[in-house]
A and B are shown apart, each in its own frame.
Chain A
């Protein structure tokens, strides 16, 4: 169970169907790549867990699951393992839960190099440590070439919500301020560039990171924070539309206030995309009451991952459309939810 063990029982360089067969080869794969890295407490088929926070009166259990598919598997700023841990941690954190344990399930396409798998698993260990969660149980399956795109990972997460915490979009009121923890659309733009088929190159990297630290800071500074979302697929536009619809308010964004890197804008200009639709993996949008906005921003800026926090808009009386934006040019436009897949345009 030593990661640096010089002697390996794994034969060859890549995963084969034998590693999914249930026999010794599978045991070797699990031991050398997964168990060695995740170091579970015991080798039972279930994790047996206790936590003091759960025993407190009024505490609630939070439980979430998410599947991760991405091409390419490794990209500037992270890999599918980083995504799998941060995505589930952030889903828990955005709901006000303290993330505690994750499960991780791997569907591996035969031919996957052991080295790649080791790097991805190492990313998961690193991100889990950063977020303070344990990967407590897991599973692997190997499928024939063509049945999966390299590697799919599903993570489920369990966390605990302290008594008195109640983050829900329904609680957003007119006048509440929408905050984000940092720059937007880095992840989406990075993946578009990293895919290579559009042949653009940039220095941007995915913003993928755990946000539970940022979220705890916000909740400490703004005890009446209303609701938060991890603005992943569909970008800020989709997250805000969903929240506004649920809350029965409209949201007015201020284009001039949106933190978007010049390079990300560049990718969007070239491909005719809207940065508000691009995915984030480390962007949190939080609604707080006006009088707590300043302290929430200060608290975010003081923790890693929140340095570029800023206010981007506010909730207003429900209008005909959920989300509008004052353009930097002085006009106004609707910010709709992304329709289907975002396709680059030429015209």
Chain B
């Protein structure tokens, strides 16, 4: 359910109807920013939003995204450490 994709707001096209132009990998589509609109629509320009059926449904939180990626990277490093330890243990075993 619910195909949603990240896009960047590049311009406000109709302030009265809260419409903006969003760009998704070089493709442009006018979207409604009603769900994420604050007092100043122009503040949205440059923001990354999650787009679903022509609406910007959420502003993507960069700090949270970075944190998620950090956790993923941590798992990768932990795995490398484990593999290194396993190799070390094996080398020790082989030596004995």
**A and B interact:** yes
Contact of B65 with A by CB under 8 A? no
Contact of A246 with B by CB under 8 A? no
Give the docked Cα–Cα distance between A272 and B24 (Å). 13
Q: Which residue of chain A is the closest to B3 with respect to CB atoms?
A: A272
Q: Are B29 and A200 in contact (CB under 8 A)?
A: yes
Q: Which residue of chain B is the closest to A347 with respect to CB atoms?
A: B1
A328 CB to nearest chain B CB (Å): 15
Q: Are B1 and A200 in contact (CB under 8 A)?
A: no
Q: Which residue of chain B is the closest to A202 with respect to CB atoms?
A: B27
Please give, as numbers and ranges, the residues of chain A lying within 8 Å of B52 by CB-CB distance.
346
Give the docked Cα–Cα distance between A193 and B3 (Å). 19
Contacting residues of chain B (1-48) with chain A, CB-CB under 8 angstroms:
1-3, 5, 24-30
Q: Which residue of chain A is the closest to B23 with respect to CB atoms?
A: A266
Give the docked Cα–Cα distance between A347 and B2 (Å). 4
B24 CB to nearest chain A CB (Å): 5
Set B2, B3, B27, B53: member contacting A266, Cβ < 8 A: B27
Q: Are B1 and A266 in contact (CB under 8 A)?
A: no
Q: Are A199 and B25 in contact (CB under 8 A)?
A: no
Most interface-central of A199, A262, A270, A272 (chain B CB within 10 A):
A270
Q: Provided the pairs A266-B24, A269-B24 are in contact, do residues A199 and B3 lie with their beta carbons within 8 angstroms?
A: no
Contact of A265 with B by CB under 8 A? yes
Give the docked Cα–Cα distance between A72 and B66 (Å). 44
A214 CB to nearest chain B CB (Å): 26
Interface residues on B, range: 10 to 19
Q: Are B25 and A265 in contact (CB under 8 A)?
A: yes
Give the docked Cα–Cα distance between A201 and B51 (Å). 16
Q: Are B26 and A202 in contact (CB under 8 A)?
A: yes
Interface residues on A, range: 10 to 19
How many residue pairs bridge A and B at CB < 8 Å?
Answer: 41
Give the docked Cα–Cα distance between A270 and B26 (Å). 12
Contact of A267 with B by CB under 8 A? yes
Q: Which residue of chain B is the closest to A265 with respect to CB atoms?
A: B25
Give the docked Cα–Cα distance between A199 and B21 (Å). 11
Q: Are B29 and A347 in contact (CB under 8 A)?
A: no
Give the docked Cα–Cα distance between A200 and B28 (Å). 6
Most interface-central of B25, B27, B28 (chain A CB within 10 A):
B27
Q: Which residue of chain A is the closest to B54 with respect to CB atoms?
A: A199
A3 CB to nearest chain B CB (Å): 38
Set B5, B25, B51, B53: member contacting A263, Cβ < 8 A: B25
Please give, as numbers and ranges, the residues of chain A lying within 8 Å of B28 by CB-CB distance.
200-202
Please give, as numbers and ranges, the residues of chain A lying within 8 Å of B30 by CB-CB distance.
199
Contact of A203 with B by CB under 8 A? yes
Q: Are A270 and B24 in contact (CB under 8 A)?
A: yes
Set B1, B2, B5: member contacting A270, Cβ < 8 A: B5
Most interface-central of A201, A262, A266 (chain B CB within 10 A):
A266
Contacting residues of chain A (181-216) with chain B, CB-CB under 8 angstroms:
193, 199-203
Q: Which residue of chain A is the closest to B28 with respect to CB atoms?
A: A201
B89 CB to nearest chain A CB (Å): 27
Q: Are B53 and A270 in contact (CB under 8 A)?
A: no
Contacting residues of chain A (292-347) with chain B, CB-CB under 8 angstroms:
345-347
Please give, as numbers and ranges, the residues of chain B lying within 8 Å of A263 by CB-CB distance.
25-27
Contacting residues of chain A (203-261) with chain B, CB-CB under 8 angstroms:
203
Give the docked Cα–Cα distance between A262 and B24 (Å). 9
Give the docked Cα–Cα distance between A218 and B36 (Å). 54
A241 CB to nearest chain B CB (Å): 25
Please give, as numbers and ranges, the residues of chain A lying within 8 Å of B25 by CB-CB distance.
262-263, 265-266, 269
User: Please, could you name 7 A-B residue pairs with CB atoms under 8 Å apart, sorted by A?
Assistant: A265-B25, A266-B26, A269-B5, A270-B51, A346-B53, A347-B2, A347-B3
Seed contacts A201-B27, A347-B1; 18 additional CB < 8 Å A-B pairs:
A193-B27, A199-B30, A202-B27, A202-B28, A203-B26, A262-B26, A263-B25, A263-B27, A265-B25, A266-B25, A267-B27, A270-B5, A270-B27, A270-B29, A345-B3, A346-B2, A346-B53, A347-B3
Could you tell me which B residues sit within 8 Å of A by CB distance? 1-3, 5, 24-30, 51-53
The 9 closest A-B pairs by CB, nearest first: A266-B25, A266-B27, A263-B26, A347-B1, A262-B25, A200-B29, A266-B24, A202-B27, A201-B28
